[in-house]
Amino acid sequence: MPSEGYIVPADPQAALKKKTAVSRSWILLDSSGEGTILDVDKYVIMHRVQIHARDLRILDPLLSYPSTILGREKAIVLNLEHIKAIITADEVLLRDPMDDNVIPIVEELRRRLPPANTAHQSQGEGKEQQSGHNEVEPNEEDESPFEFRALEVALEAICSFLDARTTELETAAYPALDELTSKISSRNLDRVRKLKCAMTRLTARVQKVRDELEQLLDDDDDMADLYLSRKLAGSSSPVSGSGVPNWFPASPTIGSRISRASRASAVTTRGDENDVEELEMLLEAYFMQIDGTLNKLTTLREYIDDTEDYINIQLDNHRNQLIQLELFLSSGTVCISIYSLVAGIFGMNIPYTWNDNHGYMFKWVVIVTGVVCAALFILIISYARYKGLVGS
């Protein structure tokens, strides 16, 4: 494939034709929310956003990498489950835009990326006379830099996605566990086994996202690396020729982006360039949400463990009942063996004279032997109960 990729306008029919090459497709969303479907070589992406190959390799769908949020000089590399994106100070590159899980994220980015002042420009030109008076208010509503708005959409999407998967798992798991406690069968055991495996995998995925957010919150330097607009505003020549190369001949959003970045970072750069309070509040909100999802999975795991303990108790009880039955049968076998021994002795061809002219002797031998065997059986069972070997 040539090193220079080709660009296709974002249109649903054209995007549908690209579905076969979705693993190489990207969608570019600028600060106005306009999208463009791209089918480009990875070297073009690297040259575009100025990141290394190892960073781009994190977004490769053929490779398995844990959830990662990396801050680079001019970009944020984002790998959260199915969300694989590169965020710059004025655009978002999102991989596999035709994926069913990515399409809602694209729509949300188109809705949330445009600043408030541009979103209201389509209301009509009758309000342009008041633009001088209202110019500050939209900017106050749009204090968050572009990269933070894009990052918030991604975090909100992944947290909602994992929470929905957790809710689905809870909906399927609790009835299955209750059914297993009422009836222990191979079918119910296999069903719970599959649900437990799914819960373990989902817990690992949620834990990875939570750990990444916690790692960011614990390191102010990593959070400071995510302030792309601040870095852009702090550069001495924001429109110099050494900037990031653009595929388009002109970008009308660069000037507005620079001025917006300067206004947005005026407060943060005024006193302390290491101030990360805005990003910290953003990350803490979604950290609490993903932590709540993890708590749901932990509660479900505890419920499964409790159910397993209950099942083990039931199985132990059944096993004890079988042992009791075996004790009863063994005791009865011993007594019958003694009875058979007496019958065998009298059945032998041994000459004896004490039975002559005593017709009642057979009756008494049978009665006495039966009473002795019954008393022996009762004695064995009483001893077993005394030792706690059988229940009362």
Using CA atoms, how far residue 388 sits from 170, 172, 313, 327, in Å, is: 42, 42, 18, 12
Q: What is the rounded CA–CA span in Å between residue 221 and residue 272?
A: 13
Structure tokens at 338: 């003694």
Instruction: Report yes or no: 103 and 88 within 8 Å, Cβ to Cβ.
Output: no
pLDDT of 53 reads 87
In order along the chain (392 residues), what is the average pLDDT of each group of 10 residues?
43 46 73 85 85 87 85 90 90 89 90 67 45 42 78 93 95 93 90 94 94 92 88 59 40 40 43 73 94 95 93 88 86 87 75 64 80 88 79 62
pLDDT of 306 reads 93
pLDDT of 34 reads 86
52: helix, strand or coil: coil
Q: What is the rounded CA–CA span in Å between residue 370 and residue 372?
A: 5
pLDDT of 9 reads 45
Q: What is the rounded CA–CA span in Å between residue 99 and residue 61?
A: 12
pTM of the model: 0.69
Q: What is the DSSP string of 297-332?
A: HHHHHHHHHHHHHHHHHHHHHHHHHHHHHHHHHHHH
Question: Which is it for the CA torsion 260, 265, 267, 271, positive or negative?
Answer: negative
Structure tokens at 20: 């076969």
